[in-house]
Each structure stands twice: as C-alpha cells, then as structure tokens.
Chain A
C-alpha cells in the first residue's frame, strides 16, 4: 500500500513538472498558497473569506468535484414539496470571478503532509502552505447489516443532497396506496441532528396529501433525538396514527435490511417495505482519513482555530471535524470556517487574529407553516468548542410564532448561502 502510494506520488510529481508546474509557479510565485478541499458549507465559506479579506495577497484554490453544490439543509423541504431541487443548487462562478478563488473541479485523492502537496484524480499535484479540509461525511462500512453503497439505489440514504434526494422522492411518489416507508435512523454523532426527523415530517406531509393510508416506520438506535418533544407533538398534531417511531427499547437499534427483497428486519421481526431510507452511521469524508488527521471516525481539531491536532498546517471544518459541543450542521461549518479563515489569514499575512466565536441555529419544518428552531453559542476552550448559551422553540407555541419561525428559516437560507457563494 505504502509502495503504491509512493509510486503514485512519483508519477504525479512527474506530471506536475511537465504540465501543471509552469502555470502554478507563474501565477503563484511568492504568494502563500491555501488549498481548500470540499466546496460545501465549510469549504466554500473558508475559500470565500480568505480570498475576500486578503484581496489577492493569498492564492486560494478550492477543490470540489461537483459543478453544482446542493445543500443538504432544506433538501427535506424538497421531499415535502416546499422547495424545488433548483432552489438548493449553488455554483462556484462568483467565488472565481469576484474573489479570484481558483476553483478546480476534480477529486483530491491524496495528501502528502511532509511534502505539503495535494494529489488530484486528474493527475496534478498542488503545493500548499495551509490546507483546509472540509470533506463532509462518508458512511461507516457495514453500519447497517445488509446495506452498502452498492445498494443505495434500492435503499437510498439521501444524506448527501442531489440525485439521491431526487431518487428518494421519486420512490415516495411511486409508493402503492397504503404502502410502507421505512427509515433506519443513524447513531450519534451524525450530520444534522434534527435532519432524520424533519425528513419523517416532510415524508408524512407528502404522503398525507397523496397517499393518506400509507405508514411510516422509523427504526432508531437512539433513545432521544434532537427537538424530540417538538417533533412528537407535531407528528401527533399533523400526522396522527401515521408514524411509528421504534426506539432502542423496542429493538430500533437491532436492524438489518435486504435491499433485493425490500425487507427490513427490526429486532427479529421482518417487514416488507416499499421505500427504505437507510441513513447509516457516519465518519469524516475519506480524504481526512487519507491525510492521516483522523482518530477513529473523525478528525480532532483545536478549538481556537480549527487546526488539526495532528498537523498545525492542516485545518478541518464542519461535519468531518471532532471539535466538542457543536452539532454537525451547515451553520456550524460556516461558523467554524470564519474562525479558521481569520486564523489562516493571520498566519500567512500577519493580519490581526481575533478571538474565536462560534454559533449555530437549526430550523426544522414539521408541517405547513410549522417551523421550530434550536440554537446555541459556543467558545473555544483548551479542550474543545464548548457551549455557552442556548435556546429551543417551546412546545405548544401559537401558529403565528411557528409561521414566523418558518419564514425566518427561509431568510436564513438566503443569508447563509449568500455568505458562502455570492
């Protein structure tokens, strides 16, 4: 393995000298170089803020294979019929044209931390002074017995937004009358803690309108979940009798699936299902592992600047990082990216570095005009990102408050995506 990797690195170094090197040297001579891997909430924000604030003093390269980024947040609203897929898509043109970010649509396939280079699937090897990893999540192999990525068409995860989300929606719309939708919910920690339960709400909303005798089963390994009281209240109000949530006390954590037969086995009891949304246990996106900055499933970081505990020139943002108290969310990644950008900018150009501040708010939609939210502020301590203060919507709020909360979430979506891509 090591041998192969060395050989591969040798090849790409050769490719660099013949192809990529002249352009890179001519463009970047003398300027510090930042490479950002992953153009989601953390990566796009970091690239934008470093490029914007340095006004050309630092070369920023963003490596992201997709031309269009579909946000995972609000993708449940697409399932519920409240948003179109196009509403969730964002492109990188403005990062390139307005801020001069070098956007490279390619896969980063390796990181050599000694040589400080990143290898791309296309063959190039790019040097960096500071590397920011924001690769999001991958799934833990074998986390749900019977399921693998090879089965993701039969049983979609739809936890990376885009084609998977569209597939899941098509399957929901094609369910037979009175059919069964099953979800295998993930164990902690995972991307977007309220996400599976907002999804259950949105699927129920869709089915209530189109297939009101359909049933929803949720097998969950967790005894408690984010905004649990709010969701359960909403499910009783809007979708009474439709949703069967099976927690670990009733075997919700003991699950296997058979994608060929379209069955789910919960604690020994087999059920035929029409749609099965398997959300497996998660880990940091693979490049973090390849860069050697993970410890177990996630990449530990220093709270003050999001630098890796393994390498002070590598930073890890968002879902992939193991930072302490913040939930894995797009809002968190955006917040962490700004702290990181400030630190990286300071390290490379000597600009003033301000103390870290983090915050997060997560809105969820339970039914039409029935929005709820939870949020908190955080600070950097020596050990971790630690929670300072927080709030959550109350059960029993009046409908005007819930409607205002939903409208606020739409404003937030416009605001945070502008903060990343425009």
Chain B
C-alpha cells in the first residue's frame, strides 16, 4: 500500500528534476564558455588534476580549502574551518569578488561582475559535481541575482571620526598597526572590499561566529565609517 502510494510521487519528482536539467543545458553550454577565463589555472572533468588552482570536480557541497593534496592559502583553509561550504550561493559570492569572501585567497582573479555569467558558470561547474541533479538549487530567486550590494550602500561616505570610535571595538582583537597573528589584519583595505565583506558577515554569507555577531548590529553608516577609518590606518 505504502509502496504503491510512493511510486507516483517518485516519478513526479524525477520528471521535475529532469525538466529542470533540460532547461539548464543552455546555461551549462554558456558556462563552459565562461569557464575559459578559469582554464589557465583550473581543470575540470575526466582526468582533471590540480594545476595552479585545485581541480574543480565535486566542488559543490565541499568545505572550502578541503580538497586533499592541494596547498591552499591560510586564508582559504581558515574559511573552511570557520564553516564556509561551497554552495551555489557562496560560490556566487566568491566568484563575484573572491577577496570579499576569502580575504587573502591566492586566486588572482578580479571577479565576474555579470550575474548571468556567474549563473551560467555555476551551472557548468555543478554538472561536474557528484549527482548534480541532487544538489539543491539555490532558492529560485537567488539564481542569476547580482550579489552586488545596493549601490547606495557602497556610495555612503563614512565618517572617519565615528569610525575611529567604533574601531575600538575591533581593536580588542584586530591590531591597529595591521599585525596579523591568529587574527587577520583589517587595516588598509579598499573601502568597497571592506564594506562588501562586512555586509557578507552581516548577511551570514561569510562564516565566523564572532564576526557575524559583531557585524549584525552595525548599520550601513557604521560599516561605512569603519571602512573609511581603517582604510587610512597605518
């Protein structure tokens, strides 16, 4: 009785997945073209090996910095330990602006600004992960959405005096002279990178419990103020 009831459901589920897959094939083809930008460092598909960058088979669902045998930056290893897992959402943020998600990644890539390019590239990468059909799609609205912050937020002019006061909360851990020993440096960052990174903590995209907690109660003006202050700190 139960088995009979289950069967039609399973068929239905298969059909939905199949339909989704067919729709994605255009994206995969387009993504293969976008992957041209990655090819000089990364291999993917049968026989792929680590080159300048790690091979990208089975990427989805893997913790950051966890592919054995490849020497990652400390920053990438740390992100993995802190809980960063590669999903459609985190990869999208990383590919858009690698250093905003993993500050000192060795991946020397400026980032893909086009949301459509990123969506296609992810569809392509996804097809080389284990059981791609089983990988949960990011919620439909997330797909193809540009992760750019509201330009109004990036355009905010921070008040460095306010930033200096707020920074005293940061310097309980992050050293004002930029030394980084166990806790990363936060001085001298380009303002946009700083703002994007802090908002990524605030939105809980970027992992780390202390930083998520600290960023959670900073408003847009306060993040802008901190960015303005730390940028010029020597």
Q: Which residues of B contact A (CB under 8 A)?
A: 78, 81-82, 161-162, 164-166, 168-169, 171-177, 179-183, 209-210, 212-214, 216-217
Give 1 or 0 for each of A56-74: 1 = CB within 8 Å of chain B CB.
0000000000000000000
CA distance A388 to B164 in the complex (A): 23
Nearest opposing residue in chain B for A391, CB measure: B209
Across-interface contacts of A359 in B (CB, < 8 A):
169, 172, 213-214
Of B169, B172, B209, B212, chain A has the most CB atoms within 10 Å of the CB of: B172
Across-interface contacts of B162 in A (CB, < 8 A):
354
Other-chain contact of A418, B81, B165, B175 (Cβ < 8 Å): B175
How many A residues touch B, CB cutoff 8 Å?
Answer: 35
A374 to chain B, nearest CB (A): 10
CA distance A401 to B79 in the complex (A): 10
Q: Say yes or no for A145: interface residue by CB 8 A criterion.
A: no
Q: Are A404 and B82 in contact (CB under 8 A)?
A: yes
Q: Say yes or no for A350: interface residue by CB 8 A criterion.
A: no
Q: Say yes or no for A352: interface residue by CB 8 A criterion.
A: yes
Q: Are A338 and B81 in contact (CB under 8 A)?
A: no
Q: How many A-B residue pairs have CB under 8 A?
A: 86
Q: Say yes or no for A175: interface residue by CB 8 A criterion.
A: no
Q: Are A411 and B82 in contact (CB under 8 A)?
A: no
Q: Are B217 and A414 in contact (CB under 8 A)?
A: no
Nearest opposing residue in chain B for A416, CB measure: B172
CA distance A359 to B82 in the complex (A): 20
Other-chain contact of B173, A342, A400, A401, A412 (Cβ < 8 Å): A412
**Complex A-B: 21 CB contacts under 8 Å:** A53-B164, A335-B169, A335-B172, A352-B161, A354-B165, A357-B169, A357-B217, A359-B214, A361-B210, A373-B210, A375-B209, A388-B217, A390-B213, A408-B183, A411-B181, A411-B183, A414-B179, A415-B172, A418-B179, A419-B172, A419-B176
Across-interface contacts of A388 in B (CB, < 8 A):
217
Interface residues of A in 334-375 (CB under 8 A from B): 334-335, 338, 342, 352, 354, 357, 359, 361, 373, 375
CA distance A389 to B165 in the complex (A): 21
Nearest opposing residue in chain A for B184, CB measure: A411
Across-interface contacts of B169 in A (CB, < 8 A):
335, 338, 357, 359
Nearest opposing residue in chain B for A406, CB measure: B182
Across-interface contacts of A357 in B (CB, < 8 A):
166, 169, 217
